[in-house]
Chain A
Amino acid sequence: MYEFEYHRPKKLADAVKLIKSKKEGKLMAGGMTLIPTMKQRLASPTDVIDLSGLGNSGVSVTKTKVTIKAGTTHAEVASSSDLKKAVPALAALAGMIGDPHVRHKGTIGGSVANADPAADYPSALLALNAKVVTDSRTIEADKFFKSLFETALRTNEIIKQIEFEIPARSAYSKFPNPASRYAMVGVFVADFGKKGVRVGVTGAKGSAYREKAMEKALTADFSADAIAKVKIKADDMNEDIHASAEYRAHLVGVMAKRAIAAAK
């Protein structure tokens, strides 16, 4: 790792000021991606601004909405009793990220800002019609994930919290890479009753996306049979040593069916 200057502000305003004043500063939430990246010298920021001093964590639930502050760890999300009641699928998803030690450090804000194509949370943000609230504005999940590690966040913009709509029922089904536990494909299905069904997919393409043909079929009939005829094209799917594009396209259908069967 190259040397850098370390900062740990206590207030969001100070963090914003710091990141704006540094030429090549980098924000660090839990550091579960940034530290390994810096160790491999794939990132060499002049300054690291650690957001863990902000104390910005917690899950709150109202009748229609779940709000998770950006600094909330995966372990905290997974074990929130309010969330387990409101959106059990979202708590379960957090409990599938990495391993227990990583979940003690990694945060939802960090994961969402990093936008790893195989990260779990992006599928939930899309399926649960989430809003990403930053220090300066609110961005809809549909407009947030742009492409590989690319989001709508401006340079120096800091996520404050994520707000999710509460569905009637939902589930997340993932086919994890056996070594990394990242999603080869993960599908989050959320049934909003009259407002329709939303399907968020991660791991399959450069960025998480909504499988709209499935959403249409499931809004008409929420059953695994309803999507049997939905054709998932392999054209723009990821291809690597772990899985071919065709295999990933096939997995999207399989994971979606499992999620539909498990939805509650």
Chain B
Amino acid sequence: MPAISMTVNGEKVCGDVEGRTLLVDFIRGNLGKTGTHVGCDTSQCGACVVHVDGKAIKSCTALAVACDGATVNTVEGLATNGKLHPMQEAFREHHGLQCGFCTPGMIMAGIDIVKRKGKKLKEETIREELEGNICRCTGYHNIVKAIQAGAAKM
């Protein structure tokens, strides 16, 4: 089994994986970071979105071994010294969740949108950019509001 190492949320980690081990399984199973969720497992829902080398990807559709040497950020890495990231705080404040299952992916996607499109986001842009993230509870309105508010505070 190939030995891999990567930097996850600023911490050097390593492990032995099979070629077929998915990045999300490595993060959840090997590292015990279960904030990243598996929703659909078919690249549709986006609950598994993490940042690899600064870009949002679906970790259920990436091989862990292919991320050898990469820098990975998950939802657990966002808060600093017990203080929520502005995007997390905005989801809390604007009630951008109900069951919360899609939330880690939504937050990671939201931060990625800000990285690419800036802090001033139109509602329309956010809705279009959330193409790859599915929520079954909220109807999206509050998620969009949360991302707009979180973006402004980043």
Contacts and interface: CB of A to CB of B under 8 A. Distances in A.
Interface of A: 1-6, 8, 31-32, 35-36, 38-39, 48, 50, 52, 75, 98-102, 104-105, 179, 181
Size band of the B side of the interface? 20 to 34
Contact of B20 (A3, A36, A100): A3
Contacts, number: 73
B20 A105 contact: no
Given A3-B20, A8-B66, A36-B43, A98 B61 contact: no
A104 B55 contact: yes
A35 B57 contact: no
A35 B62 contact: yes
Interface centre among B42, B43, B129 (most CB of A within 10 A): B43
A39 B58 CA distance: 14
A1 B20 contact: yes
Nearest to A36: B43
A177 B20 CA distance: 30
B85 to A, nearest CB: 19
Interface centre among A8, A52, A179 (most CB of B within 10 A): A8
Contact of B2 (A1, A6, A75, A100): A6
Contact of B109 (A36, A98, A101, A179): A101
A6 B43 contact: no
B56 A100 contact: yes
Contacts of A179: 44
A104 B62 contact: no
Contacts of A35: 22, 43, 61-63
Contacts of A100: 56, 109, 112-113, 116, 129, 131-132
